[in-house]
């Protein structure tokens, strides 16, 4: 059963934690230790360091974890990091959806029981995804490990970005994993398949603007003698490293539309350029070329490190294979058992009714040998639509289906949508 944090956690009578992060920032700005001690004291009052698992309101919990990570980043006790990692693992392995979203529809917008994750009633507040990105970033800064950037990428492109419409003027508070307009779709903040320009509780929309407006800070990290590309996007980076080297480069890409990322070195300098190789590339070929010659081996879930005396004009090209892939649901997760989902690069795909008007997407079955071809959309900003076949359980035959990136659903009026589709053991031709 999900925890009822109102009754079981009387020691946590706080609203959205934020001041822990603010106090640590004040300490960083002023050097006055009292601010850091105050943040650490607050966490002790919450008994933060002995929480057995994440619980309670998802946004509050995630923001508190951010405060905990900030305090760790300044104090540096190893048991603190162990605890933060345990909480991060509890979220990502047991309480997060494929999109990276959290909040399974339990009361009080809270974390639910491990592995429950129902698709038809999930909450996945936009702010919960955004605060999870904040926590991922802090864990990345604390450890330098790629898995935290992987989760940051997954959560940003799917659970957070779905919170805003293609035009950028309408927002979701809740981000359903599945919705059938034939059924009940009224959520806590209005219809769950229509973004709105404004909510009385004005948290998600401004939070999204904050995230998108500060996106540049998530692209790169730096260590004393190198820079690490974490999220891929168009950028120019110019930073003086502790080693004294000036890292100055330009990054050009349309990722994740395509899997091609180019770096052009703009100034001479000796430093390491590390490229994150996302976990989702496992089993695919990742190409790295330095001035046209093969680069270092790329292992999924880590970094390809290029140590070099760079000359202005040097070029590095990174190529990811964006072939669509079917994701098998985890047998021990309620909403995923016996189901398949579609991904391309870091993007989770969904089946939405406007692309599949002749069929009922809730009658569909996918098979493990379903293949999909790519088509640029005209109606969804050039995003890649995937076309293929699925089994129609009502018609008892194979039918054409199309899927779009999940974050782009609900841009063409109220619709039905699903991410996880039941798997059919037999292939489409009945073998
Ligand atoms: Zn919100």
Percent of the chain with pLDDT over 90: 84
Reported as a pLDDT band with limits 50, 70 and 90, residue 14 is low
Mean pLDDT of the chain: 93
Q: How far is CA 199 from CA 60, 163, 206, in A?
A: 19, 12, 11
Q: How far is CA 8 from CA 1, 53, 197, 417, in A?
A: 12, 13, 36, 36
Distance from the CA of 201 to the center of ligand 1, in angstroms?
Answer: 8
Residue 407 token pair: 């974050």
Distance from the CA of 36 to the center of ligand 1, in angstroms?
Answer: 27
Reported as a pLDDT band with limits 50, 70 and 90, residue 209 is very high
Distance from the CA of 62 to the center of ligand 1, in angstroms?
Answer: 12
d(CA 401, CA 21): 46
Higher pLDDT, 180 or 268: 268
How confident is the model at residue 201, as a pLDDT? 85
pLDDT 10s digits, 236-254: 999 999 999 999 999 999 9
Distance from the CA of 80 to the center of ligand 1, in angstroms?
Answer: 28
**pLDDT reading at 4 higher than 90:** no
Q: How far is CA 70 from CA 181, 184, 200, 211, 235, in A?
A: 43, 42, 31, 18, 26
5-215 and 219-319: identical CATH topology = no
What is 219-319's CATH number, 2.60.40.1180, 2.40.30.10, 2.120.10.80, 3.10.520.10? 2.60.40.1180
Q: Do 281 and 321 touch, CB atoms closer than 8 A?
A: yes
Distance from the CA of 260 to the center of ligand 1, in angstroms?
Answer: 34
Distance from the CA of 155 to the center of ligand 1, in angstroms?
Answer: 15
**pLDDT reading at 8 higher than 50:** no
Residue range 313-342: mean pLDDT, rounded: 97
Reported as a pLDDT band with limits 50, 70 and 90, residue 188 is confident
**pLDDT reading at 2 higher than 70:** no
**pLDDT reading at 142 higher than 90:** yes
CB contact set of 285 (below 8 Å; sequence gap of 6+): 321
How confident is the model at residue 266, as a pLDDT? 98
Distance from the CA of 70 to the center of ligand 1, in angstroms?
Answer: 22
Distance from the CA of 133 to the center of ligand 1, in angstroms?
Answer: 14
DSSP letter for 199, please: -
pLDDT 10s digits, 80-98: 999 999 999 999 999 999 9
pTM value is 0.94
The dotted CATH code for 5-215 is 1.50.10.10
pLDDT 10s digits, 399-415: 999 999 999 999 999 89
Q: How far is CA 321 from CA 281, 283, 286, 295, 316, in A?
A: 7, 10, 7, 16, 17
Reported as a pLDDT band with limits 50, 70 and 90, residue 15 is low
Distance from the CA of 77 to the center of ligand 1, in angstroms?
Answer: 32
Distance from the CA of 128 to the center of ligand 1, in angstroms?
Answer: 7
d(CA 394, CA 414): 24
Structure-token match 């109220």, residue found: 414
Distance from the CA of 82 to the center of ligand 1, in angstroms?
Answer: 29
SS3 (DSSP) at 322:
coil
Phi-psi region of 112 (alpha: psi -120 to 50; beta: other; left: phi over 0): beta
Distance from the CA of 340 to the center of ligand 1, in angstroms?
Answer: 29
HEC sequence for 374-396: EEECCCCCCCEEEEEEEEECCCC
How confident is the model at residue 431, as a pLDDT? 56
Q: How do the domains of the chain map onto residue ranges? A: 5-215, 219-319, 325-422
Q: What is the dihedral of CA 424, 429, 430, 431, to 10 degrees?
A: -100
Distance from the CA of 204 to the center of ligand 1, in angstroms?
Answer: 3
Distance from the CA of 129 to the center of ligand 1, in angstroms?
Answer: 9
Residue range 199-222: mean pLDDT, rounded: 94
Lowest-confidence region among 167-171, 182-186, 299-303, 347-351:
182-186
Lowest-confidence region among 10-19, 92-101, 342-351:
10-19
pLDDT 10s digits, 58-88: 999 999 999 999 999 999 999 999 999 999 9
pLDDT 10s digits, 26-38: 999 999 999 999 9
Residue range 38-62: mean pLDDT, rounded: 92
Distance from the CA of 130 to the center of ligand 1, in angstroms?
Answer: 9
Distance from the CA of 63 to the center of ligand 1, in angstroms?
Answer: 12
Distance from the CA of 52 to the center of ligand 1, in angstroms?
Answer: 25
Distance from the CA of 101 to the center of ligand 1, in angstroms?
Answer: 13
Percent of the chain with pLDDT over 70: 95
How confident is the model at residue 187, as a pLDDT? 75
């Amino acid at each position: 059963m999900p925890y009822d944090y109102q009754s079981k956690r009387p020691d946590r009578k706080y609203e959205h934690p934020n001041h822990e992060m603010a106090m640590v920032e004040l300490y960083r700005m002023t050097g006055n230790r009292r601010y850091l001690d105050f943040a650490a004291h607050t966490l002790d009052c919450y008994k933060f360091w002995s929480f057995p698992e994440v619980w309670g309101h998802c946004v509050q919990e995630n923001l508190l974890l951010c405060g905990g990570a900030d305090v760790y980043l300044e104090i540096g006790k190893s048991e603190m990091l162990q605890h933060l990692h345990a909480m991060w693992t509890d979220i990502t392995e047991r309480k997060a959806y494929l999109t990276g979203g959290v909040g399974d529809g339990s009361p009080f917008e809270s974390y639910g029981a491990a592995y429950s994750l129902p698709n038809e009633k999930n909450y996945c507040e936009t702010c919960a995804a955004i605060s999870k990105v904040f926590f991922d970033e802090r864990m990345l800064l604390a450890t330098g490990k790629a898995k935290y950037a992987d989760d940051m990428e997954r959560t940003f492109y799917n659970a957070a970005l779905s919170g805003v419409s293609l035009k950028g003027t309408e927002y979701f508070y809740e981000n359903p994993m599945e919705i059938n307009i034939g059924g009940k779709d009224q959520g806590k903040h209005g219809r769950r398949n229509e973004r709105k320009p404004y909510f009385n509780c004005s948290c998600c929309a401004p939070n999204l603007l904050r995230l998108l407006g500060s996106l540049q800070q998530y692209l790169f990290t730096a260590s004393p003698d190198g820079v690490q590309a974490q999220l891929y996007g168009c950028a120019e980076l110019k930073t003086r490293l502790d080693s004294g080297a000036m890292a100055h480069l330009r990054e050009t890409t349309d990722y994740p539309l395509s899997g091609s990322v180019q770096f052009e070195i703009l100034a001479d300098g000796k430093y390491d350029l590390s490229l994150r190789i996302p976990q989702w590339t496992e089993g695919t070929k990742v190409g790295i070329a330095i001035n046209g010659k093969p680069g270092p081996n790329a292992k999924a879930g880590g970094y390809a490190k290029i140590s070099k005396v760079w000359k202005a004009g040097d070029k590095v090209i990174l190529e990811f294979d964006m072939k669509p892939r079917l994701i098998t649901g985890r047998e021990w997760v309620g909403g995923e058992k016996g189901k398949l989902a579609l991904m391309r690069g870091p993007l989770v795909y969904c089946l939405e009714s406007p692309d599949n008007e002749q069929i009922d997407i809730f009658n569909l079955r996918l098979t493990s040998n379903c293949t999909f071809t790519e088509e640029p959309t005209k109606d969804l900003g050039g995003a890649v639509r995937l076309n293929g076949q699925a089994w129609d359980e009502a018609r008892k035959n194979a039918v054409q289906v199309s899927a779009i990136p999940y974050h782009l659903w609900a841009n063409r009026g109220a619709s039905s949508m699903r991410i996880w589709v039941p798997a059919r053991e037999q292939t489409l031709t009945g073998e």
